Amino acid sequence: MRIAFAQGLLVRPGFSIVALAVALTAFACGGDGPGPGPSTDSPASGGSGVGGNATASGGGAPTGSGGISTGSGGNPPTGSGASVGSGGDPGSGGMLGADEEYPFPANAADETGADLWLRFPTLPIPLRLAEYQAAFTHVVSEGASPTLDIAETELVEGLSGLTGQTVAAAAAPTGAGAVVIGTLASSPIVAGLPFASELPALGPEGYRVSTADIGGQSTVVVAANSDVGVLYGSYALLRHLQSHSSLADLSLTSSPKIKMRLLNHWDNLDRSVERGYAGQSLWNWGALPGTISPRYVEYARANASIGINGTVLTNVNADADVLTASYLAKVKALADVFRPYGIKVYLTARFSAPQEIGGLSTYQPSDPGVQQWWADKADEIYGLIPDFGGFLVKANSEGQPGPQDHVDGANMLAQALEPHGGIVMWRAFVYAENSPQDRIKQAYDEFQPTDGDYEANAMIQVKNGPLDFQPREPFHPLFGAMPETPLVLELQVTKEYLGQDTHLAYLGSMWQEILEADTYASGAGSTVARVVDGTVHGYEHTAIAGVANIGEDVNWTGSQFNQANWYAFGRMAWDPDISAEAVAEEWVRQTLSNDPLVVGPVTELMMASHQTLVDYMTPLGLVHIMGTDHHYGPAPWVNDQSRAEWNPFYYHKADTQGIGFDRTAAGSNAVDQYAAEVTQLYGTRASTPDALLLFFHRVGWGETLASGRSLWEELVHRYSLGVDGVGVMRDAWASVEDRVDGARFADVAEFLQIQHYEARWWRDACLTYFASVGGQTVPSGYAAPANNLSFYQGLSCPPDVKKPRCSQINSGEPSPAITP
């Protein structure tokens, strides 16, 4: 139990210090399930987590994001002499952090966030600084290539910044303090290392960073099999140093577990971004290819620093024009910028392009002319971009054109790309316009029977859950169900349904839940991570994709904390087994501060943030109750859309008796799409974790849950916990004031305030609605909703994206929602 960061908290009026201390104590210790009553529970209690690994059937040990403590022993309130290490980075080795006392930063200069996590301020702790100053005096790159030049420059600049002294490039190691970088082929020093024979096993992108005796001097060496491996190793070394970690026993060895680690931009050619909340698209098509924005380089650099090696430039709701000669020249210009950073470009292929821009009378794959058109198009693209990655396709979905048969379409494109080594990624996000079938069953029904019918260079891209990037969903049943067809896991970094730019929700913990979920495809332990990395089915091609949250905004992602999701996507794509908490801590150290009084509370608030958001938006397995189209605020009452599955009502079906979607054998039987163990787990009311209860089951308002509360009481409780959880996040953030720069502090504080109001909006709107249809009232011990149902139904705040979107609900004190 740690309450270290309660020191110096700013306490808002109306929120008692006693309640705050209780909240913070519970927030920091975590792990306990919900207590018996409102007053003993913590906003961040672990009770709502999904048993990440379904091996834990019977409900499993919740691995929810709430209340996970950070660090190995906590920080004394003075902040002196303690480190907040979380056990280090499995891919990099070693504990993060230093044991020295961090000085209170005097007037930290304001920052915009434009530097992301690539910040190299001089260490403020003298012992570690002296260690680094002695260890790093010059950088020797053995070999010459654009990629090695980048690695050398990154090290020269990063080490100069961190040490506060000039670290220069040199032709050869001279005396103490050399960093030598190179590959087995390019560097005699690397080839002569005692561990040189172990390097080939690290593969084309792996690296080893360690200390070696070179000419009698202890020297840091960054060794790899390829230039890009050296670049990744250089970033790993910088990450280690940005975390102020010790050089003793330095050993950072890592190889990616997934081969293709891709961003998917939903960027349109007019520079609008579908589900983008960070300004216009980075790609300035009008100015390309003549003008290369410096931001293209910064983008490539940021991605390479976290291991991303591919980018799909355009929206899956595709525009055929990007395949015309004039656009391909622009794409080539971007590819040329990204190549030295190890990043390939991919494009979305509009399936009707042969007709739209090729002048053919059809686009169906059975037509030889269509096949030839795509083959010629592939030749044209590879003539310009020899390392072009391939196509991503959304077909026959949400109005996008497609073939009569997915297999024919995917295979035609695969055949066109095959001579050049390209890949086609065919999306499984399909649901029919007029089908009585449960929407979440349709992708499986359509794709699973096609397993094994695809060309070797075709992959099927599957969203993490069967619905659509909800705050929480079970894993998609196609994972584990297509042994002969490599699947790409598609995650959404942009938070379409999770408060977009404004709400702070760290997605690493949500992704960890998905990656750890057990498909049982080949017995226990067949997790989604092991399916995607190819271990379970022996896939030759492996890939993971993240729908990007990046735009022209100066801070890149629309908010300071949304940067952490870009960062986490890259780090978890490289190593799907890395803990979300370790990644959060790394990010905080690099982006904000290494001061334990920042690292501890901010890592904890990040780890609690996803569960907190789920609680105030969609607790207990509710999904898709957001406002129509914009998906921002609450609108569970909507039931007038032309397609049934576009209505929130479709997903919860609340009435006088109860709430929830019955997906058991007695209902839509969606549970049957999973392996038997999972069908049993989710098909049985008693073993379904509360976190997914209403996704799989219809439950009466009065039924008792594991907490001892009735379903209705638990709903009220969860919504209230969520609101108060945001209050705790605000207080945690307030505790770091003056320990991070004022500009970023204020940005985050302002958004957290909006989030707090909006959490209360979510709670009150949903509870008044469910109370009205269910004939329920809010029990004592919980704040009454601030307004009546018609007030919430009458609001029309979004899609105006200026902040706050909904000033009508920005008043009063959102907390406490659980009243003392």
CB of 448 to ligand GCV, least distance (A): 19
CB of 631 to ligand GCV, least distance (A): 7
- Comparison of 317 and 687: residue with beta carbon closer to ligand GCV: 317
Distance separating alpha carbons of residues 353 and 358, to the nearest angstrom: 6
Residue with structure tokens 């070179």?
Answer: 214
The b/e string for 25-40 (b: 16+ C-beta within 10 A; e otherwise) is ebbbbbebbbeeebee
Nearest one of 551, 591, 444 to 112, comparing CA atoms: 591
Between helix 368-384 and helix 325-338 the angle, nearest 10°, is 40
- Comparison of 493 and 767: residue with beta carbon closer to ligand GCV: 493
Strand order in the sheet with 207-214: 168-170, 138-142, 178-183, 217-224, 207-214, 251-254
Site for ligand GCV in 538-557 (CB under 6 A): none
CB of 446 to ligand GCV, least distance (A): 15
Cβ(220)–Cβ(190) under 8 Å?
no
**Which DSSP string do the residues of 734-802 spell out, in sequence order?**
HTTBTTB-HHHHHHHHHHHHHHHHHHHHHHHHHHHHHHHHHT--PPTTBPPPSS-HHHHHH---TT--S
Nearest one of 721, 515, 516, 725 to 606, comparing CA atoms: 725
CB of 633 to ligand GCV, least distance (A): 15
Cβ(648)–Cβ(629) under 8 Å?
no
Structure tokens at 167: 């670290």
Computed from CA positions of residues 512, 513, 516, 517, in that sequence, does the dihedral angle turn out positive or negative? negative
Per-residue binding string, ligand GCV, 274-303, x by CB under 6 A, is xx----------------------------
Residue 398 annotated among the catalytic residues of the structure: yes
CB of 627 to ligand GCV, least distance (A): 12
Per-residue binding string, ligand GCV, 488-507, x by CB under 6 A, is --------x-----------
Structure tokens at 365: 């794959």
**DSSP code for 252:** E
Cβ(280)–Cβ(329) under 8 Å?
no
How many residues does the structure list for the chain?
820
- Comparison of 275 and 377: residue with beta carbon closer to ligand GCV: 275
Per-residue binding string, ligand GCV, 446-485, x by CB under 6 A, is ----------------------x-----------------
Between helix 368-384 and helix 406-417 the angle, nearest 10°, is 40
- Comparison of 394 and 697: residue with beta carbon closer to ligand GCV: 394
- Comparison of 41 and 496: residue with beta carbon closer to ligand GCV: 496
Residue of 398, 484, 655, 738 marked active site: 398
561 binds ligand GCV, rule: CB under 6 A? no
CB of 222 to ligand GCV, least distance (A): 39
CB of 469 to ligand GCV, least distance (A): 7
3-state secondary structure string, 67-129?
CCCCCCCCCCCCCCCCCCCCCCCCCCCCCCCCCCCCCCCCCCCCCCCCCCCCCCCCCCCHHHH
CB of 757 to ligand GCV, least distance (A): 25
Structure tokens at 720: 């209230």
- Comparison of 350 and 730: residue with beta carbon closer to ligand GCV: 350
317 binds ligand GCV, rule: CB under 6 A? yes
Number of CB atoms found within 10 A of residue 482's CB: 24
Site for ligand GCV in 245-274 (CB under 6 A): 266, 274
Task: Count residues binding ligand GCV (CB under 6 A).
Answer: 10
Cβ(219)–Cβ(260) under 8 Å?
no
Residue with structure tokens 């260490």?
Answer: 123
CB of 647 to ligand GCV, least distance (A): 14
316 binds ligand GCV, rule: CB under 6 A? yes
Residue 298 annotated among the catalytic residues of the structure: no
**DSSP code for 634:** B
Judge if the upstream peptide bond of residue 804 is cis by omega within 30 degrees of 0: yes
Residue 418 annotated among the catalytic residues of the structure: no
Let me know if 51 is exposed, middle or buried by CB neighbors in 10 A (0-12, 13-18, 19+): buried
- Comparison of 496 and 581: residue with beta carbon closer to ligand GCV: 496
CB of 503 to ligand GCV, least distance (A): 17
Cβ(505)–Cβ(617) under 8 Å?
no
Per-residue binding string, ligand GCV, 644-673, x by CB under 6 A, is ------------------------------
Judge if the upstream peptide bond of residue 799 is cis by omega within 30 degrees of 0: yes
CB of 675 to ligand GCV, least distance (A): 26
Amino acid in position 66 = G
**Which DSSP string do the residues of 155-183 spell out, in sequence order?**
HHHHHHHHHTS--EEESS--SS-EEEEEE
Distance separating alpha carbons of residues 116 and 99, to the nearest angstrom: 25
Site for ligand GCV in 367-426 (CB under 6 A): 394, 398
- Comparison of 183 and 442: residue with beta carbon closer to ligand GCV: 442
CB of 55 to ligand GCV, least distance (A): 30
Nearest one of 55, 35, 59 to 696, comparing CA atoms: 59
- Comparison of 112 and 280: residue with beta carbon closer to ligand GCV: 280
Residue of 205, 319, 438, 468 marked active site: 468
Among 429, 539, 587, 762, interactor with ligand GCV by CB under 6 A: 429
CB of 654 to ligand GCV, least distance (A): 23
Residue of 142, 473, 496, 581 marked active site: 496
Residue with structure tokens 């020797």?
Answer: 140
Cβ-based neighbours of 760, under 8 Å, separated by 6 or more: 616, 723, 786, 809, 812, 814, 815, 817
Nearest one of 48, 44, 25 to 620, comparing CA atoms: 48
Binding residues for ligand GCV, per CB under 6 A? 266, 274-275, 316-317, 394, 398, 429, 468, 496
Q: Catalytic amino acids?
A: 398, 468, 496
